[in-house]
Amino acid sequence: MSNTRIIDEDFISRLEAVSLYMQIPMQGYFGGNHRTKTYGNTVEFADFRTYQLGDDIRRIDWNVYSRFEKYFIRLFVDEKQMHTQIFLDCSASMGKTDPDKGLYAMRVAAALAFLSVKNMDKTSLKRIRGNFAEDAGGLIVGKAAFYRAVGELEETVFAGTADLATAITHTDSGADNGLTVIISDFLTESDWKKAVNYLLYRKRQVMLIQVLSPEELDPGYKGRVRMSDSEAEDVLDERNMKMRITRAEVETYRLALHDYLSDIKSFCAGRGVSFFSVRSDDPVEKLIFGKLNEAEAVR
Amino acid sequence: MSLALPLGLLGLLGIAALILIYILKPKYAEKAVSSTFVWKLTLKYKKKKLPFQWLRSSLLLILQLSILSLLAFSLAQPLFAVSIESGEKIIILESSASMLAQKDGRTRFDRALTDITRLAEETVPKDKVSVILAAGTAVPLVTRSDAEGLIKLSLTGVECGYGQADIPGAMTLAESILRENPSAEIILYTCREHPDSGVTVKNMSDREWNAAILDFKAEFIEGYFRFSVETASYNTAADLSLVLEIDGQFAEVKAVRLGADQPQTVAFGAAPVSYDNARVYIDVADAFVYDNEFRLFGGGKQNFRIQLVSKAPLFLGAALRADRNCDVIVPGYTPEAAELIQAAANEAERLMLIDGFTIDDYLYESAGYDLYVYERMTPGVLPVDGAVWLINPESEPSGSGLSLGARVSGSFTLTATGAGGEAYDAVFANNFPYADVTLSDYRRVLRADGYEEIFTVGGNPVLLARQADGVKLTVFALDFHNTNLPITLGFPILINNLIQYSLTRTTESYLYEVGNRVAITPAAVATSITVEGGGIRQDFDAVNEKVSVTVNKSGAYTVTQTLRTKSTEENFFVRIAKGQSDFNSVGEAVKLPPVSGTAPKVFDTIDILSYLALALLAIISFEWERQYREQY
């Protein structure tokens, strides 16, 4: 992966035109670009309220006083900085057998990280391996840090397994202060739903992006096949399979995959979680400017 | 199922080899996949949602096993013995007169024969056919044959009868065939409906028109014969002309208007005192001609000639003449005897003279009569061409086998003996009251060879009868004048009974029905008899006993007897049975015979090799298609 640029200037210039958009109220930190329901000191008018003792008299609206002979003060929108966490599943299934799938996942992670940085938010790129989530480039604030983090991200190796639930629930994700994106194929026995529930408990906005390779969507192989799972530890690993694949098996596979995706969608819809399933052979732009834009996750 | 070559089943060992190949077949392609997660889900789906998926996944193996099995069976050359449903037919062909009704030149019987031939062609050789001809007596024409040629040969030359059909007899014959194959179908070819029948009825009737003379009668009323005709027109109304001929001469024509299927009786005005031959006919072109004519014979004319030789013939002559069929002739005296009587001074002397006469004083004949009656006189030789009564004979005629003794006087009554004899039965017909008869005198009969004793007095026979060489001889060993018979009501009964016994008619009736057996009693001196009529002629030579003929066709018949010196002719008429003329009559239900048991299995051996080859081809094609789809 080290020789591959996951993000280039042209793509970044196109990302400059959009921003991440928070759909839920957040607390966050001062200095960000995300609106909150509280009133702050920005120049964007929000509302009036009657004057109270202790209010700054400089905020009294004299024009209103001249009309109603009552003291009203003007309120302004407050904007805060959020903490965006991007979890990238770095198990073998994400890129060992299909590097394009891994590359696609990294590009999505980098693109979302850029959008977050562009909003002056704090951003974390976390790679999940085994039971842990490690930061790539630490806490990213500013574009310089972003590029540094991307450089580390490009060095990612997809290997082993990834326990999403354990890795995410053991990560300090903060509270009421931002967006958590999980990029994975979700083809795992790990209880990732537990991680999502945990994040929601922490009142974070959650976005799931599922990356599937074309072969995973439509297996092109038939006949008697011994399938070696990329995450298998050895040939005796029970994840390896030996089966006779006929047209009927392929049809059943499609049905099972469809039902599985429907289950994920249903789970997410019931919790206000955004879910996007993408093909790894599609351009990343199709996700950013297409699906995310349609879902008003970016504007 | 049987196998022509059972060793061919060794080919089934190939199945074991195939299974072994499947077990040992190790060729699995290596494939590295990112995750088998969805495939494992797929296996759960197969277990949960597709319960018969094992069948689909094993389809190739199943097909290949089938191919091997079929090949092995083909090698074994299997033969299937399959039970097939019997289509055996039992055909009953009604051969009654009404089947002779014609339309467009073909009778119902002809049409039925054509139909049966076609049915036989359709049935054999796969199944068997039996044909039963239901004529006056049911006869099997062919029994359970599957040979088309034989069946057609049996139908060749079969002619329809003029009588009635013996359907019950035919069903009895059919029952015997049904016992061999209870599933055989009985088909009745007839010309009328048989509702509620248990057999298949083929009605050959085509609503043909039949104008018929159903009956023709002559009643003797106040000295004249009155004729009446019962006639009908079936299936259509018609105006008919009934023509009456008497003794060959036109007598009368009657025009009648007949409604359809409504019999009507028509009386003629012509009334002869006697007739020999009365004929009524209708001249129409209907479908059935055999009931368009009717004849009556024997209309009161005197047919029997009786010679009565007696010294006092008036009383017995009157008793004999009471029968209208009898012409009684009393011979006159010889010229010498007549001269003596004429010379008698008075009646008493005349009676005395007559009392002393012998038979030679009479001009009697010894031949040419049907009955010779001799009272108190005995001919030297008995006549041989007719019956003879000897009443109170003075002596025994030669050849009579009699030996007479003395007269016995007293008061006697009659005792009936000899019950069961022909003469005895004849005498006691019409309740002859013999117990009232008393007598005061009789002649003892010492010997009576071959005689049947009818009445005896104290063990001595007084009324005897014998039949020898065709001559019936009756002997009264008593004098009517010495009995109370003439003053009892039994006397005319006795005389009539004895006439009936002695004067046997040639035929018992002048009218018969088709199918009847006509008994012909020959005259005593008949040398031959010829019966002619209905298109046939039968000759009987040297007859001395009754002969009989069966009349199978309608029409007038003539019986000609050749006697020693002459020949005689008598006629009778044979009619179609009345019911045969009714073209709208409904037959009785023909019930299926209650044959128990199950139908025997009829087996047919089928060589299924060609079917196996076809199945093999189909399965191999299917297997190839499955292989192709799995590989590509």
A171 vs A195: CA distance, rounded Å: 10
pLDDT beneath 70, residues of chain A? 1-4, 22-44, 46, 77-81, 173-177
CATH entry, B89-207+584-598, from 3.40.50.720, 3.40.710.10, 3.40.50.1980, 3.40.50.410: 3.40.50.410
Give the DSSP H/E element, type plus range, for residue B109. helix B108-123
Q: β-strand B415-416 against B387-391: which pairing, if any?
A: unpaired
Contact criterion met (CB < 8 Å) for A221 and B29: yes
Q: Is the pLDDT of residue B54 over 70?
A: no
What strand order describes the sheet that includes B185-190? Answer: B138-145, B129-134, B89-94, B185-190, B200-203
Q: Is B250 exposed, middle or buried (0-12, 13-18, 19+ CB in 10 A)?
A: exposed
**A261 chain-B contacts, CB cut-off 8 A:** none
Q: Is B541 exposed, middle or buried (0-12, 13-18, 19+ CB in 10 A)?
A: exposed
pLDDT level of residue B238 (50, 70, 90 thresholds)? very high
Nearest to A255 among B34, B43, B45 (CB): B45
Q: Looking at residue B158, what is its pLDDT?
A: 92
Q: Which two tokens stand for residue B401?
A: 């086998």
Q: Looking at residue A1, what is its pLDDT?
A: 46
Could you tell me which of A90, A107, A264, A86 has the C-alpha nearest to residue A182? Answer: A86
pLDDT level of residue B597 (50, 70, 90 thresholds)? low
A223 and chain B in contact, CB less than 8 A: yes
The CATH architecture assigned to B210-299 reads Sandwich (2.60)
Contact criterion met (CB < 8 Å) for B39 and A241: yes
Contact criterion met (CB < 8 Å) for B43 and A243: yes
Q: Looking at residue B52, what is its pLDDT?
A: 65
**Average pLDDT of the segment spanning B132-147:** 92
Q: Which two tokens stand for residue B369?
A: 């009569």
Q: Is the pLDDT of residue B274 over 70?
A: yes
A81 vs B191: CA distance, rounded Å: 115
Q: Is the pLDDT of residue B47 over 80?
A: no
Interface test with B, best of A249, A255, A262, A280 (most B CBs within 10 A): A249
A215 and chain B in contact, CB less than 8 A: yes
Nearest to B32 among A216, A230, A243 (CB): A230
Nearest to B57 among A101, A222, A246 (CB): A246
Q: Looking at residue B141, what is its pLDDT?
A: 94
Print the SS3 string covering B410-466.
EEEECEECCCCCHHHHHHCCCCCCHHHCEEEEEEEEEEECCCEEEEEECCEEEEEEE
**B39 chain-A contacts, CB cut-off 8 A:** 227, 241, 243, 253
Asked if residues B53 and A243 have their Cβ atoms less than 8 Å apart, the reply is no
Q: Looking at residue B338, what is its pLDDT?
A: 92
Q: Provide the 3-class DSSP secondary structure of residue A4.
A: coil
Q: Looking at residue B302, what is its pLDDT?
A: 63
**Superfamily for B304-502?**
Class I glutamine amidotransferase (GATase) domain (3.40.50.880)
Q: Looking at residue B50, what is its pLDDT?
A: 56
B610 vs B287: CA distance, rounded Å: 57
Strand partners, A124: A85, A139
Contact criterion met (CB < 8 Å) for A231 and B57: no
B581 vs B211: CA distance, rounded Å: 8
DSSP state of B225: E
Q: How far is CA A105 from CA A159, A192, A211, A264, B89, in A?
A: 14, 17, 7, 19, 88
**Average pLDDT of the segment spanning B491-519:** 88
**Helix, strand, coil percentages, rounded to 5, for chain B:** 30, 35, 35
User: Comparing B567 with B103, which gets the higher pLDDT?
Assistant: B103
Nearest to A229 among B27, B33, B629 (CB): B33
Cα torsion A96, A101, A103, A107: sign: negative
A23 vs A186: CA distance, rounded Å: 24
Nearest to A244 among B31, B34, B57 (CB): B57
Q: Looking at residue B151, what is its pLDDT?
A: 92
**Average pLDDT of the segment spanning B134-144:** 92
* Gap from A93 CA to chain B (nearest CA, Å): 4
Q: Is the pLDDT of residue B458 over 70?
A: yes
The CATH architecture assigned to A9-25+82-294 reads 3-Layer(aba) Sandwich (3.40)
**Average pLDDT of the segment spanning B350-354:** 89
What's the topology of domain B511-579?
A: Immunoglobulin-like (2.60.40)
**B38 chain-A contacts, CB cut-off 8 A:** 187, 216, 253, 256-257, 260
Residues B182-232 pLDDT 10s:
888 899 999 999 888 888 999 999 989 999 999 999 988 887 889 999 999
Phi-psi region of A112 (alpha: psi -120 to 50; beta: other; left: phi over 0): alpha
Nearest to A257 among B32, B38, B43 (CB): B38
Q: Looking at residue A2, what is its pLDDT?
A: 45
| Chain B: residue whose CA lies nearest to A161 | B35
**B56 chain-A contacts, CB cut-off 8 A:** 246, 248
Could you tell me which of A124, A179, A150, A142 has the C-alpha nearest to residue A297? Answer: A179
Asked if residues B453 and B466 have their Cβ atoms less than 8 Å apart, the reply is no
Q: How many CA atoms lie within 13 A of B493 on its CB side?
A: 15
A172 vs A198: CA distance, rounded Å: 11
A283 vs B390: CA distance, rounded Å: 153
Q: So where are chain A's domains?
A: 9-25+82-294, 35-79
Contact criterion met (CB < 8 Å) for A226 and B30: yes
Q: Do domains B304-502 and B511-579 have the same CATH topology?
A: no
Helices B108-123 and B148-155 pack at an angle, to 10 degrees, of: 170
A89 and chain B in contact, CB less than 8 A: no
Could you tell me which of A213, A16, A14, A178 has the C-alpha nearest to residue A86? Answer: A178
CB-CB neighbours of A286 under 10 Å:
12
Q: Is the pLDDT of residue B454 over 60?
A: yes
Contacts A–B by Cβ distance under 8 A:
105
Q: Looking at residue B632, what is its pLDDT?
A: 56
| Mean per-residue pLDDT over chain B, rounded | 87
Helices B59-76 and B13-24 pack at an angle, to 10 degrees, of: 160
Q: How far is CA A292 from CA A34, A287, B220, B249, in A?
A: 18, 6, 132, 131
| Chain A: residue whose CA lies nearest to B33 | A229
A242 and chain B in contact, CB less than 8 A: yes
* Gap from A185 CA to chain B (nearest CA, Å): 9
Q: Looking at residue A112, what is its pLDDT?
A: 92
Contact criterion met (CB < 8 Å) for B35 and A187: yes
Q: Which two tokens stand for residue B621?
A: 């094609």
B484: Cβ contacts below 8 Å, ≥ 6 apart: B436, B437, B438, B439
Contact criterion met (CB < 8 Å) for B36 and A256: no
Q: So where are chain B's domains?
A: 2-81+609-631, 89-207+584-598, 210-299, 304-502, 511-579
**A230 chain-B contacts, CB cut-off 8 A:** 32-35
* Gap from A192 CA to chain B (nearest CA, Å): 14
Q: Is the pLDDT of residue B606 over 80?
A: no
pLDDT level of residue B569 (50, 70, 90 thresholds)? confident
Residues A133-171 pLDDT 10s:
988 888 888 888 899 999 999 989 999 999 999 999 988
Contact criterion met (CB < 8 Å) for A187 and B57: no
Q: β-strand A205-212 against A223-229: which pairing, if any?
A: unpaired
**Look-up of token digits 């008018």:** A45
Residues B541-558 pLDDT 10s:
867 778 899 999 999 999
* Gap from B45 CA to chain A (nearest CA, Å): 7
Q: Is the pLDDT of residue B628 over 80?
A: no
| Chain B: residue whose CA lies nearest to A226 | B30
